[in-house]
Chain A
Amino acid sequence: MSADNDDARLAKARAKLERGFQGEEDLEGLSTPQKDFIAACVIAAFSVFALVLAWQWHNPGHLRFTHPGLLPIIIGVTLFAMAVGLGVRAVREGGARNLGSIFARTPEGEEQGYGPRVWILIGLVTALVILVDIISFRIRIPIGGFEFKLSSFECTAIPVVTVIMKVFWRASWVRCFLVAAVTAMALAAAFRYGFKIPMPGVD
């Protein structure tokens, strides 16, 4: 079974090389006409928004060439043109039909449950960032001549990372907690004492 997987992976890589220049970033298979069509609509709206804002800026100078919106307007117009180009090609390839396919539970070429797992991860990462910002305290414990510092960063990061590990690593809660605690404390210590960088919040 493993040998079959290895052979399949090698065959896929060989086929990729045969297809020629694919660009520096491996984007093969990520585009569909439907995705391109939706992206084109969003980018067109974004470019119009950027363009309208740039148009409204006043020019304190006496030369039109020094207008602060000069390059933003040029970029807005050309970005809109590019979005139209992307949209037209997507429509020609059938991108305006079957738009629901991009919201399919398991899109083609994607493993079962990947999409929901991404959303869970985005939720947990956002929660970590917000919690580290809003929770702010510090604990200082003198041990001999050394002062042990514990900030809200470690106290917030440990439970959130424990949950992330539980969801994706699927080890026991105790194991996830221990790994999360050791890594969060070690990282905080490396930044605080090694690189002399204080932790977010009060440190």
Chain B
Amino acid sequence: MILDQLLLALSPYLIFVCLVGVTLGILWGAMPGLSTTMAMALLIGLSTGMSQSVAIVFILGVFTGSVFGGAISAVLINIPGTPDAVPTMIEGYPLARRGEGGLALGTAIAASFLGNWIGILLLIALIPMVLKIALEFRSLEMFLLAMWGIAISGTMSAGKRPLKGWISGWIGLVFAFVGLDAIHAVPRYTFGSSILEDGINYIPVLIGLFGLSEILRVLPQQRPVGIPAEVGRVVPPLRTLWKYAGTSIRSGLIGTIIGAIPGAGANVASFLSYDIGRRRAKPEERKKWGTGSYEAIVCSEVANNANIGGSMLPTLTLGIPGSAAAAAFLAALELKNVVVGPTLQTEHPGLIYFIYIVLIIANFLMYGMAIVLVKPCIKLFSLPQTLLMPVILLICVLGSYAVALSYFDVYVMLAAGLVGYLLRRFGFPLAPMVLAIILGPLADENLRRALVVMEHKSFWTIVTDHPVGALLVLIVLYTFYDGIFRRR
């Protein structure tokens, strides 16, 4: 089975598609204002016309490329292409001003390559174990897991104000209930409209929240075009990376673990790894932090790339996206009738191996293309955002229409974009809302099923029958307790 998937993934056409995806991802990530999540959300629409394997290869290629791409503008024009590249900017730009831009970017490329490897290897190692546990989950556990996913996503994305993250998630849940209910087919929040009886398709919501709302935020800003610093020859310094082997492994572990937590993505991973790295750095090395440290670049870049593998873990095994970008990947899979979750291995045998192999191929291509694309990227920086954003607007319209060839979805995308823009203006995060819209129906159906099964059982019987469920209740309560009392 693995060999079949390997041969499929190594077919020249799929390698070419992966190369296109990685190239597009690097260029996209390098452009300030264009995030990985935005790229992923827009690509779902494009992937509707692709076969399952082509869509997976293309989207994973873009995911891998765009996470690294953010480092290019961070080092060369002092503007992070993606938010997780801020630590790389703090360290890389001073190096570029000293004429070491090529070496700084080379370090970032090598660290990203290594980070991806750590993420992929941990994913391969942990998936069988998590799938085994997930297969034991029943309705109660699935409900609690979905609710914990939304709650922790609120906590992780809103930072010091988790209440706002939870509110965003809870609003998403209300929208998730629109349509016929799964048990009795009672219309909920449909206001007599037959279109709403099918529910709100979350793909146009995703495009609106991460595509249109970003256009509304970025296009009216009058940001001057960046002037790139000297780049020099880009050489990934493998000897430097060997020097920081311990730091790399630690950062990779941080990135993967953070990636596996719903709502926490590359941004949290990169900041946390940078912070821990600074505390643990040797005194002579610590002096360089903040003014151009190669070790700091390794910390940040290894972590944010390892995050890709980590975010795939809950996405593939539990159907709970590890990050907003992973939510877009999950949406693309569902468009291809792939239902991820505990039964992934039995319902889609071999798919998981295909995903591993594609991630590895994308990583190799990212390494090569990153070296090739650094200099062409410099020319891209002269392109004003005011030129790019209207083009992306058209992709939002066509992409949301393409999902089901329904123009109603374009209106959903518009509404989601406006709501997303307003929520951001008022300081509410968007990822919990997307997660809630995806997980809402799952939570609703499983809660009601669980309650029916448990109707005549005593409290203690329920607890002894569902030890994992009891543990999850405690985890959910702790998540709220931690958010309310410890983050004040």
Q: Residues of A with Cβ closer than 8 Å to B?
A: 2, 6, 9-10, 13-14, 16-17, 20-28, 30-31, 35-36, 38-39, 43, 46-47, 50, 53-54, 57-61, 63, 65-72, 75-76, 78-79, 82-83, 85-86, 89, 111, 114, 117-118, 120-122, 125-126, 128-129, 132-133, 153, 157, 161, 164-165, 168-170, 179-180, 183-184, 187-188, 191, 194-200
Chain B contact surface mostly: helix
Whether, in the assembled complex, B109 has its beta carbon less than 8 Å from a beta carbon of chain A, the answer is: no
Residue on B with the closest CB to A170?
Answer: B386
Whether, in the assembled complex, B384 has its beta carbon less than 8 Å from a beta carbon of chain A, the answer is: yes
Whether, in the assembled complex, B302 has its beta carbon less than 8 Å from a beta carbon of chain A, the answer is: no
Residues of chain B lying within 8 A (CB to CB) of residue A13: 86, 89-90
Residues of chain A lying within 8 A (CB to CB) of residue B79: 9
**Distance, CA A125 to CA B217, complexed state (A):** 13
Whether, in the assembled complex, B167 has its beta carbon less than 8 Å from a beta carbon of chain A, the answer is: yes
Interface size of B in residues (CB-CB distance below 8 Å): 92
Q: Are B159 and A23 in contact (CB under 8 A)?
A: yes
For this complex, 10 residue pairs linking A to B, each with C-beta atoms less than 8 Å apart, are: A14-B90, A23-B158, A24-B323, A27-B158, A31-B164, A47-B174, A79-B170, A153-B398, A157-B397, A168-B389
Interchain CB contact (< 8 A) of B427 among A6, A31, A67, A71: A31
Residues of chain B lying within 8 A (CB to CB) of residue A132: 397, 407, 410
Chain A contact surface mostly: helix
Residue on A with the closest CB to B410?
Answer: A129
From known contacts A24-B263, A27-B158, infer whether A35 and B427 are also in contact, taking CB-CB under 8 Å.
Answer: yes
From known contacts A43-B171, A196-B49, infer whether A125 and B222 are also in contact, taking CB-CB under 8 Å.
Answer: no
Contact flags (1/0) for B159-171 with A, using CB distance below 8 Å?
1110111110011
**Distance, CA A16 to CA B290, complexed state (A):** 12
From known contacts A17-B274, A57-B188, A122-B216, infer whether A70 and B447 are also in contact, taking CB-CB under 8 Å.
Answer: yes
**Distance, CA A125 to CA B400, complexed state (A):** 14
Interchain CB contact (< 8 A) of B177 among A72, A79, A199: A72
Whether, in the assembled complex, B402 has its beta carbon less than 8 Å from a beta carbon of chain A, the answer is: yes
From known contacts A25-B430, A27-B429, infer whether A66 and B390 are also in contact, taking CB-CB under 8 Å.
Answer: no
Whether, in the assembled complex, B268 has its beta carbon less than 8 Å from a beta carbon of chain A, the answer is: yes
Q: Are A111 and B221 in contact (CB under 8 A)?
A: yes
Residues of chain B lying within 8 A (CB to CB) of residue A184: 394
**Distance, CA A121 to CA B216, complexed state (A):** 7
Residues of chain B lying within 8 A (CB to CB) of residue A126: 414
**Distance, CA A168 to CA B165, complexed state (A):** 32
Q: Are A27 and B424 in contact (CB under 8 A)?
A: yes
From known contacts A10-B94, A21-B160, infer whether A69 and B188 are also in contact, taking CB-CB under 8 Å.
Answer: yes
**Distance, CA A86 to CA B483, complexed state (A):** 13
**Distance, CA A129 to CA B272, complexed state (A):** 41
Q: Are A27 and B405 in contact (CB under 8 A)?
A: no
Q: Are A165 and B427 in contact (CB under 8 A)?
A: no
Residues of chain A lying within 8 A (CB to CB) of residue B443: 71
Q: Measured between C-beta atoms, what is the minimum distance from B341 to chain A in Å?
A: 20
**Distance, CA A26 to CA B159, complexed state (A):** 9
Whether, in the assembled complex, B197 has its beta carbon less than 8 Å from a beta carbon of chain A, the answer is: no
Whether, in the assembled complex, B451 has its beta carbon less than 8 Å from a beta carbon of chain A, the answer is: yes
Stretch binding the partner chain, chosen from B110-118, B178-186, B245-253, B466-474: B178-186
